[in-house]
Amino acid sequence: MVKKAPGQVPHLTGEALAGLKERLATGAPFKSYGEIVEWLKSEYNLFLTYATVYAWVHDRLQAKLKVPRPQSGLQDVEAVEL
């Protein structure tokens, strides 16, 4: 039998991970990873760094933030609305 080191306990587990997955899939989209950090702090009282949240969302969950690209201030507003 091969022994395995226990390793570090993941920072984001259980209820918080399920809530994050649900919010990424169906809820209001996040505008930035910093907004996710603040949401986790307010909803689940988790104090995670930006890098940790980025690694979970981008690398492990393979989710993308659904935010439109910024528009130019020089664009004609009437032309865009057509």
Q: What pLDDT was estimated at residue 29?
A: 81
**Cα dihedral 49, 36, 19, 43 sign:** positive
Q: What pLDDT was estimated at residue 20?
A: 93
Query: Of 29, 27, 18, nearest to 61 (Cα)?
Result: 18
Q: What pLDDT was estimated at residue 19?
A: 93
**Cα dihedral 38, 52, 14, 19 sign:** positive
| Per-residue pLDDT tens listing for the chain (82 residues) | 888 888 888 888 889 999 999 999 887 888 889 999 999 999 999 999 999 999 999 999 998 887 666 677 777 767 666 5
pTM comes to: 0.72
Q: What pLDDT was estimated at residue 8?
A: 85
